[in-house]
Amino acid sequence: MEEIGVRMEQGAIEVPKGLDKVIVDRTGIASTDSDGNLVYRGYRAVDLAEKRSFEQTAYLVMYGHLPDSSEIEDFSRFLMINYGIDDSTERIMQLMPKDTKLIDLLRSVVSLVPLKEKKDDKILIEIGAKMPRISSDGYRILKGMPILKDVQGSYAERFYYLLTGNYDSVGARYFEKILILYMEHEFNASTFTLRVAASTLTDPRAAVTAALAALKGPLHGGANAEILNYMLKMKSTDEAVKFVEDKLAKKEKIMGFGHRIYKKLDPRAQFAKEQLKSLAKLKDAEQLYDYAAAIEKAMWDKKQIPANLDFYAATCFYLLGIEESFYTPIFAASRLFGWGAHYIEQVSDNKLIRPDSKYVGPVGLEL
Ligand code: ACO
């Protein structure tokens, strides 16, 4: 029977499922390697987290160089003056069903919040400026709590205040370091989604909305608190080890572990682990660190799968007093600047991303 419509274009190549180890384009924004290195625009991400502010790193990621004093002043002021949202957006949030997930609220509000900027880079940064306020107000509106006003300080201090209701420069600095590590990660699933959308020459806000949809999934940014809930119920490191054994015996995935690129270690996770150790000491919660380290060790001993950033970041966020619904929106707010850089890179040298497929369904059916 003739196979009408079944074709394989001449010269087409069939690549591994999930595009595993397939290079689909070039980028000058970030690079990763399987030995556990992550570099933003030539600088190690962990060095930036230790030595630079969120604003400086976001500027670097967006524009390709570290800002001078006037550039950082302008950029920081722009983030500060654009953090607010208008009354009509607040009313839209009030109309949302009370069981709306915060990440869904964020995605919906990002797609409609009024923006005043017209240039792509500024539109993207304006969205980034508003994400902390949208997340905080959205959370409080859904819970029937009053929204927080009069925000001040650096981006991380403001964001931390909007998440916790506390001004605490020590807590905000721990938070800022983790935020920096979430900012950029080359062609991860949400960024690739954004680049596919950008390649159609859709506008930056629409591309970010697509990226937010991809980020929500539990294999990407959507499951960063799951394991924390188990850990909080643990009473000993033996229990932590048993938890890993039981999950693996049932062939269940343990969230916060594994990565497409980092097969030995995720540098962000190791950095966040050090933050957790220090924070656990500060908060008199060293047991939590011990359980986390025991889970990580057991997972490595039994399956040679390393912890990823989410595993240690979620535990740090918990000790910083940040409620779990915020974890994916926090990831999104920081990654927005990576997405922004990728939007600009994609449209500046664009080719529509439209792969081919191999048809394996029924053929030759007659009506
Ligand atoms: N727990 C248990 N086993 C795992 C885990 C895990 N977290 N991750 C991978 N594996 C196992 C798989 O079961 C599979 O085993 P098998 O070969 O015996 O069948 C093997 O390791 C390969 O796993 P894949 O899922 O095929 O690897 P891939 O590179 O596609 O997956 C992914 C990467 C999706 C991140 C995966 O490790 C995972 O699902 N992790 C849990 C979700 C998670 O933590 N996501 C956050 C990612 S990091 C971030 O977004 C900041």
- Between 69-81 and 120-143, two packed helices, what is the crossing angle to 10 degrees? 40
43-217+328-348 shares its CATH topology with 226-319: no
Structure token pair of residue 69 = 């004093």
**Per-domain residue ranges of the chain:** 43-217+328-348, 226-319
Which atom of ligand 1 lies closest to the CA of 189?
A: 50
What one-character-per-residue DSSP string does 307-323 give?
B-HHHHHHHHHHHTT--
Q: What is the pLDDT of residue 10?
A: 75
Structure token pair of residue 349 = 């040298």
Structure token pair of residue 307 = 């912890």
Intervals of the chain under pLDDT 70: 1-9
**How many angstroms separate the CA atoms of 317 and 130, rounded?**
21
Kindly report the protein residue whose alpha carbon is nearest to atom 22 of ligand 1. 258
What's the CA-to-centroid distance between 229 and ligand 1, angstroms?
19
pLDDT tens by residue, 327-337: 999 999 999 99
Ligand 1 pocket member 171 (CB < 6 A)? no
> Does an H or E element contain 264, and which?
none
Q: What is the pLDDT of residue 225?
A: 81
Q: Check if CATH label 1.10.230.10 holds for domain 226-319.
A: yes
pLDDT tens by residue, 28-66: 999 999 889 999 999 999 999 999 999 999 999 999 999
**How many angstroms separate the CA atoms of 254 and 259, rounded?**
12
Structure token pair of residue 301 = 């001993």
If you search the block for the tokens 């079944």, which residue do you land on? 6
**How many angstroms separate the CA atoms of 71 and 50, rounded?**
21
What's the CA-to-centroid distance between 258 and ligand 1, angstroms?
4
Residue 68 annotated to the active site: no
Contacts of 331 (CB under 8 A, 6+ apart): 182, 215, 221, 224, 310
Ligand 1 pocket member 254 (CB < 6 A)? yes
**How many angstroms separate the CA atoms of 305 and 297, rounded?**
9
Q: What is the pLDDT of residue 8?
A: 63
Question: Out of 1.10.580.10, 1.10.3720.10, 1.10.1520.10, 1.10.10.10, which CATH number does the structure's domain 43-217+328-348 have?
Answer: 1.10.580.10
Render the burial of 336-345: b for 16+ CB within 10 Å, e for the rest.
Answer: bbbbbbbbbb
Ligand 1 pocket member 263 (CB < 6 A)? no
Kindly report the protein residue whose alpha carbon is nearest to atom 9 of ligand 1. 258
Residue 342 annotated to the active site: no
Q: What is the pLDDT of residue 223?
A: 77
Q: What is the pLDDT of residue 9?
A: 67
CB-CB contact of 100 with 147 (8 Å) = no
Ligand 1 pocket member 266 (CB < 6 A)? no
Task: Spell out the alpha helix ranges (H) of 166-266.
Answer: 169-181, 189-199, 204-215, 226-231, 237-249
Q: What is the pLDDT of residue 12?
A: 87
Structure token pair of residue 36 = 């556990």
What's the CA-to-centroid distance between 260 and ligand 1, angstroms?
7
How far, CA to CA in Å, does 239 sit from each of 254, 264, 297?
Answer: 15, 25, 13
| Cross-strand pairs, 32 | 38
Q: What is the pLDDT of residue 230?
A: 87
Pairing of strands 30-33, 43-44: unpaired
Q: What is the pLDDT of residue 11?
A: 82
